[in-house]
Every structure is written in C-alpha cells, then in structure tokens.
Amino acid sequence: MMKKYQSTPDKRSLPDYTRISVRRNNMISANPFGERVLVIAEVAQSHDGSLGMAHAFIDAVAGAGAAAVKFQTHIAEAESTQDEPWRVKFSEQDKTRFDYWKRMGFSKEQWYGLAEHAKRKGILFLSSPFSVEAVTLLQEIGVPFWKIASGEVLNPEILEAVWKTRKPVLFSTGLAMAEELDAAVGETQKRRIPFGILKCTSEYPAPPERWGLQMISEFRERYCCPVGLSDHSGSITAGIAAAALGADIIEVHVTFSRQMFGPDVKASLTIEELTQLVTAVSQVRQALDSPVTSSGLSELQSEYRKIFGRSLALKYDLPEGTVLKKEYLTLKKPGTGIPHEEAGSVIGRRLIRDKKADRLLARDDLE
C-alpha cells in the first residue's frame, strides 16, 4: 500500500493559498468555474531580456484576468556552467546557453520594480528560483509562495534554501521520478510547510496523449494537498479539462505572439487565446483516453533530466593539489557529471590539475 502524505496534520487550519481572492479596482474578481482556480501566467523567458517587455506582460496578464504572473529568476554564474547544452538552439545572438542566461537576468532593483508593478495591477508576483542566490533575492522581494520547477526538485541546495523561508512550496513533477517527489514532499511535510503538486509534462509542446490529466486526482489522493496542472500544451484545452477535474491551480506559459523569439513560444498561449476552444472537446477526449503513469520518463524527458539536472562543481577556482572540502563544492547544470550522491566519495580527494569553477568537476580531475 502506498504511503499517503498530508500537507499538514489538519490542512483546514492553514491559509488556503490556492483560493486567493484577487482584488482589482476594489472588487473581488469572479471565477468562471464557480470554485476559484488560481491561474498562473508563466512569462518565463518570453521577455527575451527586455525589462520593458516584462512590464508589458504584467499589464497583459492582469488584463486577461489571471490571478498571478510568474517569471523565472536565472543568475547565470550561480546556476550553470559553460558545459550546459542548448535545449533548442534558437538564438543567433547567444553563443552558449550560459550567455543566454546572463542576458535574461535582471538586477535586484528591476525585480523589485516588476513585483511592485504586479501589486499595483492587483495580481500576485511569482518567480521560480534556479539557484540559492535567486532564492535569497526573491525572499527579499517577497514572493507569497515558491514554485519549484521540476528539474529543481532534484536540487537539494535550492530545496533547503526554500524550506528555510517557511513559505508554501508548489512542486512541478515533470522531471522528478516518483520516489524523488515522495522524498521532497516527505521532507516538506516533516517541516510542517504547506505544499502543492502540479502535474507537468516536460515536453515543449506536450501532445495530448502525454498530458496525464488523470494524475491530478491521483496526486490529490496520494499527497492530500492542493493539486493542479503546469501546462506545456500550447492550447487552452488542457487547462479547461484540468479545471473540470477539480484542479486548484493551473499554470500556463504565455507569449504575445507565436512568431515571437524564445524557447517556449510553441508551448505557450497567446494573450488573446480563444480559437483553441474549437478543438477543446476532441483534445480533452484524446487526453483522457491516453493515461500517463508516474513509473518512468520518456526518452525525451530522460534527456531533459540530464540537461536540467545538477552535478558536482566547484564554488571557486582551485589550484592543483587542493584537498577538496564540503564547503568547496556546489551543484550546477548539467546533470551529466558526478551526482550529488557521490559527494562523500569526492570530499578529501586531491585535485590533480587546476580546476575552474565554471566547469563541472570530473572524476579524472581527482587523485
């Protein structure tokens, strides 16, 4: 029998973060589904590094009636190395994925400005952290809860930093195996921190037979917590179906146009997305007829797991002969190097060559 996890001993005693009444112009917005569904519009990298574009998205998301706008906070040096490969080589101006992350970053003051803009528009401001430094920055800005991207469910450094804030945590499942999700949920529950689970398929765009809508109810039963869908279908159909299945939270990527530049455009909704309604019935039926299990990853997701995963790296440039200590080590992308589970066998070993912090630590670097 599967172990059940509960968000708290009595979840009714906690604030219900999934049914927030969003105040706009001194009025409470109505929910078209009756029960409130928290709709999160994920801008991600669609701003393409433009601060003006990011602010324009906040205006558009608020005007479309979503309850929250979400970004991603990437700090290149803290998150990645020059070894990180392109998921899709879409950029002519960035030589490497590392260069792309640098161009996507905003200063602390700029992030503050975005958060204040969202507040003025009456919507929640969220951003997924992709490093401990990003957690620190967002905690200073004051996000109401954490959305953890599925690749970061595998990152103990980020999870520990997030848990220390005591704020609710919303996990995406896409690249996390069942036992890894169980471990993250179990530790969150042990610390008595509220949490939620979003079914996510890490394919861009995700075809209907991979949506896995039946897992929304399975997650609710298993984890006894708010549940929902983090959608990469590029269609409104999956979100409507999820709401019909009782989802508390629906997250969708957004773009101003499918002709825009960026890695997630094909998996995004336009602000004016209406025409997808025509295909809603057939797509929902196709999805419900194609159940997805949590027993494994597709070949594509397994490859993304390597790309989005983390491996042992150095916090600092270290010279040949250095005996490695725990405090010298960190985790950086990609997940093709030495896994964090082997950190114990690395600590105490000596470097046989000078080693830079912007490259993954390799076994043949060690004596």
Number of C-alpha atoms within 13 angstroms, CB side, residue 233?
A: 28
Q: Decide: pTM greater than 0.85.
A: no
| Contacts for 293 with CB less than 8 Å, ≥ 6 apart | none
Q: How far apart are CA 46 and CA 42, in angstroms?
A: 9
Residues 133 and 234 in one domain: yes
- Domain of 348: which CATH number? 3.90.1210.10
CB atoms within 10 A of CB 210: 18
pLDDT at position 4 is 55
Which of 127, 131, 122, 94 has the alpha carbon at shortest distance from 110?
127
Give the amino acid at 219.
F
Percentage of the chain beyond pLDDT 70 is 84
Predicted pLDDT of residue 45: 85
362 or 286: which carries more pLDDT confidence?
362
Among 149, 107, 144, 106, smallest CA distance to 128 is for 149
> Is 19 a domain residue?
no
CATH at 189: 3.20.20.70
- 67: tokens are 């309850």
Give, rounded to a whole angstrom, the gap between the first and last alpha carbons of the chain: 46
pLDDT confidence of residue 5: 53
Share of the chain above pLDDT 90, in %: 51
At which of 305, 329, 345 does a domain end? Answer: 305
Q: Is residue 14 part of a domain?
A: no
Q: Are residues 343 and 205 in the same domain?
A: no
On whether both 220 and 288 belong to a single domain, the answer is yes
Number of domains present in the structure of the chain = 2
Range of the domain at 128: 26-305
Mean pLDDT, residues 53-79? 91
**pLDDT of res. 1:** 36
| Together in a domain, 113 and 51 | yes
- The residue out of 257, 273, 305 marking a domain boundary is 305
Which amino acid type is present at position 191? Answer: R
- Statement to judge: residues 132 and 213 lie in one domain: yes
Tell me whether residue 5 is in a domain.
Answer: no
Out of 262, 287, 305, pick the residue that ends a domain: 305
Q: Is the confidence at residue 274, as pLDDT, over 60?
A: no
353 in the same domain as 296: no
Q: Is pLDDT larger for residue 135 or for residue 78?
A: 135
Q: Are residues 323 and 287 in the same domain?
A: no
> Which segments of the chain are extended strands (E)?
23-24, 27-28, 38-44, 68-73, 124-129, 146-148, 169-172, 195-200, 227-231, 249-255, 269-270, 311-314, 329-332
